[in-house]
């Protein structure tokens, strides 16, 4: 089963997605959560520690490019980029904007 959640800004997409993930995980499903927001914060809604959430790296764009020299299997990508969180929910990031340092 695949569930996509989209909508305008601030309407509760992340909260709803994380709640659905937790409900299905609690019912015994293997859940893979994909945060497609370039400013991802679903990890915190899923209960990941801030340190783990901040250290997460997004899946590389070249993994999906049609003209990429090498293609990657889902297992290869998930093995490298997914992180296991509370309730055994796996999370991957589709993108991540690196913020400029302060000062
Ligand atoms: N059902 C709800 N009732 C009340 N407040 C809610 C509900 N769902 C989410 N919120 C609150 O609304 C705010 C926005 O929620 P959330 O971050 O999930 O939205 P979003 O659509 O992912 O936002 P963004 O577009 O910025 O990514 C948060 O402060 C969240 O706690
Ligand atoms: Mg959001």
Cite the DSSP H helix spans in 1-103. Answer: 13-26, 42-45, 50-55, 74-81
CB 8 less than 6 A from any atom of ligand 1: no
Residue nearest to atom 2 of ligand 1 (CA): 12
Q: How far is the CA of 76 from the centre of ligand 1 (A)?
A: 32
The better pLDDT of the pair 29, 101 is held by 29
Span 37-91, pLDDT tens digits: 999 999 999 999 999 999 999 998 777 777 777 778 888 889 999 999 999 999 9
What's the predicted TM-score (pTM) here?
A: 0.89
Length of the chain: 103
Residue 43 falls inside a structural domain: yes
pLDDT bucket at 20, cuts 50 / 70 / 90: very high
pLDDT over 80 (residue 9): yes
Residue 101 falls inside a structural domain: no
Which backbone phi and psi does 25 adopt, to 5 degrees?
-65, -40
CB 9 less than 6 A from any atom of ligand 1: yes
The total of structural domains in the chain comes to 1
Domain of 86? 13-93
Q: How far is the CA of 55 from the centre of ligand 1 (A)?
A: 23
Question: By C-alpha distance, which of 17, 64, 23, 24 is closest to 43?
Answer: 17
Residue 47 falls inside a structural domain: yes
Residue 33 falls inside a structural domain: yes
């Amino acid at each position: 089963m695949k569930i996509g959640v989209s909508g305008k800004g601030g309407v509760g997409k992340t909260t709803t997605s994380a709640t659905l993930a937790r409900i299905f995980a609690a019912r015994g499903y293997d859940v893979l959560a994909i945060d497609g927001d370039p400013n991802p914060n679903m990890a915190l809604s899923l209960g990941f520690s801030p340190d783990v959430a901040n250290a997460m790296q997004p899946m590389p764009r070249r993994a999906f490019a049609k003209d990429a020299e090498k293609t990657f299997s889902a297992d290869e990508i998930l093995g490298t980029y997914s992180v296991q969180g509370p309730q055994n929910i796996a999370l991957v990031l589709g993108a991540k904007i690196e913020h400029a340092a302060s000062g």
